[in-house]
Structure 1
Amino acid sequence: MKSTGLNKTGELTSHFFRNEYGKLVAVITRYLGSEHVETAEDIVQDALLQATKHWDLHGIPDQPKAWLYTTARNLALNALKRRKHQRAYTFHQTNGTFEVEQLPFSEELIEDSQLKMMFWCCHDSIPEHSRIALILKILSGFSISEIANAFFSNKETINKRLVRGRKQLRNVELDSPNEQDLNHRLQTVLKTIYLLFNEGYLPAIKNQTIRFDLCLEAIRLAQLLSDSQLIPKKADIHALLALMYFNVARFKSRVSKTGELMDLREQDRSKWDKELIQYGIQFLDRVVHGNTLSSYALMATISANHCVAASYDKTDWERILSLYDELLLLEQSPIVQLNRCVVLAEVKGIPSAITKLKDLGTQTDIHRYYLYHFTLAEFYKRDQQWLASKLAYEEALKLSENPRDREILKKKKQALVPNSSSQLS
């Protein structure tokens, strides 16, 4: 049965863009050569454009993925012929479509191509920020705006990073790295996957609550690494998978019936997916524990403590605070310190957390992030400092770009005790 309709076609094409874009770019780049990765991206974008136009006119085919892959393969074949490659490629026409006898697009080949491209983009000659931007753009189909979001940066800066990164890529061979290079580049690959997951878990610009497709794509890429025989040491991979599964398990409780994000205190824990929590525990159990834990293992353990707690009040906050203290020894990031302040409020009280959070705002650039002011507003509200809470909500509103977040902030600000004259502490 075929479906028709512009909205349905647009949704399906968008789905393919997220789920198939990176696969197609990776395998086509393998055939065209690493120096032609931008041509591969153009081919995939052209295939998606053709799909949109054709399906709008004739309806979505019974096997849309096969249709898309055939179109992309034919465009790649044409590109190869135009470049006058030495090898002969043959095809014949049947019922108006090309049956290509070369350029195989098998699942095994696609997975191998994606792995090679992930590590290719993380070559030592490419600056770290450019590496992450390249993977998000080439393998995950991120727009420049979305990449800028992930970095708390702007489009101009990200575009410059991509230009520099692509220039360096032309001098790097697309092959399987040796074990030493592979282990060295793995941390950048994992960092990229985690950024991808976070963009889905808490979208910063689009008016969406959760972008499940991005979170699932991040898990899929991490699973590719976990399944690969090329990577002997997988503790960090398994820790990251555990962290993502613990977070995904809480998705159904994170959104209210009216589409608003729910914080941990408000979530209905009966909606948490016990099967996904078990997946997370299994991956965490596979992490080799030594005298110290990696950042991903610590974050996964923190998330595991939340997932196994019977209720918010019965959460082992002191244990979680100690885990954050360990994490800060490895990663002195403002975001980690912000999250620690939330736990500190449960262990040592709101005044102590407010003091720590205000110090953090003067010592780092976290004050440019709307969630810093949102957290401060929530602390002031719990401490009944109504005017201070109102001002903090207003500052968060100035910095927030997502309509979803702005709506939540407005409602919380309006719900404050009216006509209060409390002053900032």
Structure 2
Amino acid sequence: MNKSDKKFNGHLTEHFFRNEYGKIVSVITRYIGVNNVETAEDIVQETLLKATDIWRQNGVPENPKAWLYKTAKNLTLNILKRKKYEQQYRTATEKHPLEFKQLPFSDEMILDEQLKMMFVCCHPSISENYQIALILKILCGFSITEIANAFFSTKETINKRLVRGRKQLRQNNISFEIPKDINTSLPIVQKTVYLLFNEGYSPTQKNELIRFDLCLEAIRLIKILVANKTIKEKSDSYALLALMHLNASRFEARMNDDNLIVEMEKQNRSKWNSNLIAKGIQYLNQAMKGGKISKYFILATISANHCIAKEFKDTNWKEILSLYNTLLAIEDSPTIRLNRAVALSNAQGSEIAIKELKSINLNSDIGNYHLFHTTLAELYKRENNLKMTIQHLKKAISLAKNKRDLKLLEKKLIDTVPIS
């Protein structure tokens, strides 16, 4: 195979591996069956390890995607040929006798198999926590650490969920097909992809402001749902695409030259991507045609209100507060109430928002979340209450897990503490 003169780049290769991981696992599972999905994962993991080792020594090949697929195919064929696996994989190989020897990886097949894998991982017989962990690991290539971060959980807990989830896949003998009741499983697929986007947009621990690869992967997966003709209900998928594009439009303005977060009030809106905003509005209009007022539709509409405001002072906070009130009727959670309190402060003043946040804290564990204290600190600052501002900034610093958040909070504290 001809080698290019491209040097091995760990970050770019990680991005490439993540994009290909779920695709290859999905196609291999087509041939060896859902019962053996862990074997498919092992094959892909070994493929990626080989690529890391060989590419680091010899450079990245001219067609890295073809290299990965060929290596994965050879490893799969080697496993299928072993006598001890013959009976185990007989059903799978007999199901696709003409394809078995070649193991083709066409673009159309990859798309179909990924859609099937989404619904396999989200099968109704598997508990929701296991579903989300499986789709993040198998289809999106998340590491156990990244899944733990997304769940605000531990690696041990996530590993147990994956083990139990794979066990349920085997025990329930789930077919690797698009389900006839596809719309029943659709909400959990959408929820999982939304979680994927959020982890990319606001990573919980890694020292990265924005992980574009995760956000782009989430958008790609939702587009697979929208493109499929067997899925009739697409309002939520369009709403999700709207939300993702609108939020993604602000990427470039969210950090400064020192790699610190720039809060929305201080962002240079000329850096907002007008093309992504236009696409987001277009998808929002598509969602509106379905006539369904869902969580994703409301969140996308809130994001649209931010995006169309020329300046922060032009933001229609009364409209946004009204949208949050509607959202609470659909899903009442401490996080939504926290975000509503921000809108409340801008629409009706800091004092009433502080009272609201104190009430939320009494009825939930939101006080363990650094953004709760960050928000309170900002509201007390507006009220010129220096003591409470400092107190909540220090508490936020003690709870923040991401270095990105710590840097911002520490800067806020330095700017707040008076020079003696």
In the superposition, the TM-score normalised over structure 2's length comes to 0.93
Task: Indicate yes or no: 2:362 matched with 1:324.
Answer: no
Q: Is the 8 A contact 1:30 1:113 kept in 2?
A: yes
Code of the aligned partner of 1:266: K
Q: Is the 8 A contact 1:360 1:366 kept in 2?
A: yes
Question: Which ranges in structure 2 are unaligned for 5 or more consecutive residues?
Answer: none
Match of 2:32 in 1: 32
Cα deviation digits, residues 124-156 of structure 1 (max 9, x gap): 111111101110011111112211221222222
Match of 1:94 in 2: none
- Counterpart-to-counterpart distance in 1, 2:5 and 2:190: 38
Matches within 5 A, 1:367-382: 367-382=367-382
Match of 1:69 in 2: 69
- Counterpart-to-counterpart distance in 2, 1:376 and 1:79: 57
3-state SS, counterpart of residue 415 of structure 1:
helix
3-state SS, counterpart of residue 81 of structure 2:
helix
Code of the aligned partner of 1:172: N
Match of 2:239 in 1: 239
Match of 2:183 in 1: 183
Q: 2:4 aligns with which of 2, 5, 8?
A: 2
Q: Is the 8 A contact 1:4 1:55 kept in 2?
A: no
Q: Bigger shift: 289-298 or 181-190?
A: 289-298
Match of 1:172 in 2: 173
Cα deviation digits, residues 206-226 of structure 1 (max 9, x gap): 011100000000000000000
Matches within 5 A, 1:180-329: 181-288=181-288, 293-329=293-329
3-state SS, counterpart of residue 314 of structure 2:
coil
Cα deviation digits, residues 356-412 of structure 1 (max 9, x gap): 111111211111111111111111122211121111111111111111211111111
Q: Is the 8 A contact 2:235 2:292 kept in 1?
A: no
Distance apart, 1:101 and its partner CA: 5.7
3-state SS, counterpart of residue 286 of structure 1:
helix
- Counterpart-to-counterpart distance in 1, 2:288 and 2:212: 30
Distance apart, 1:291 and its partner CA: 6.9
Q: Is the 8 A contact 1:48 1:68 kept in 2?
A: yes
Cα deviation digits, residues 22-62 of structure 1 (max 9, x gap): 11111111111111111111111111110111111111111
Cα deviation digits, residues 227-284 of structure 1 (max 9, x gap): 0112011001000100000001111111111111111101111111111111111111
Matches within 5 A, 1:331-410: 331-410=331-410
Q: Is the 8 A contact 1:370 1:395 kept in 2?
A: yes
- Counterpart-to-counterpart distance in 2, 1:288 and 1:280: 12
3-state SS, counterpart of residue 103 of structure 2:
coil
* C-alpha RMSD of matched pairs (Å): 1.9
Q: Is the 8 A contact 1:116 1:174 kept in 2?
A: no
- Counterpart-to-counterpart distance in 2, 1:4 and 1:244: 32
- Counterpart-to-counterpart distance in 1, 2:137 and 2:291: 37
Q: Bigger shift: 164-173 or 295-304?
A: 164-173
Match of 1:117 in 2: 117
- Counterpart-to-counterpart distance in 2, 1:178 and 1:206: 36
Code of the aligned partner of 1:174: S
Code of the aligned partner of 1:25: V
- Counterpart-to-counterpart distance in 1, 2:122 and 2:290: 27
- Counterpart-to-counterpart distance in 1, 2:140 and 2:366: 27
Q: Is the 8 A contact 1:25 1:139 kept in 2?
A: yes
Code of the aligned partner of 2:56: D
Q: Is the 8 A contact 1:9 1:52 kept in 2?
A: no
How many matched pairs?
Answer: 408
Q: Is the 8 A contact 1:130 1:165 kept in 2?
A: yes
Cα deviation digits, residues 162-207 of structure 1 (max 9, x gap): 122111111232333444x211110000000000000000011101
Q: Is the 8 A contact 1:117 1:174 kept in 2?
A: no
Match of 2:55 in 1: 55
- Counterpart-to-counterpart distance in 2, 1:292 and 1:61: 48
Question: Which ranges in structure 1 are unaligned for 5 or more consecutive residues?
Answer: 91-99, 421-425
- Counterpart-to-counterpart distance in 2, 1:308 and 1:354: 28
3-state SS, counterpart of residue 313 of structure 2:
coil
Distance apart, 1:290 and its partner CA: 7.0
- Counterpart-to-counterpart distance in 2, 1:304 and 1:354: 26
Q: Is the 8 A contact 1:9 1:55 kept in 2?
A: no
Q: Is the 8 A contact 1:341 1:357 kept in 2?
A: yes
Match of 1:43 in 2: 43
Code of the aligned partner of 1:276: L
Code of the aligned partner of 1:176: E
Distance apart, 1:11 and its partner CA: 2.4
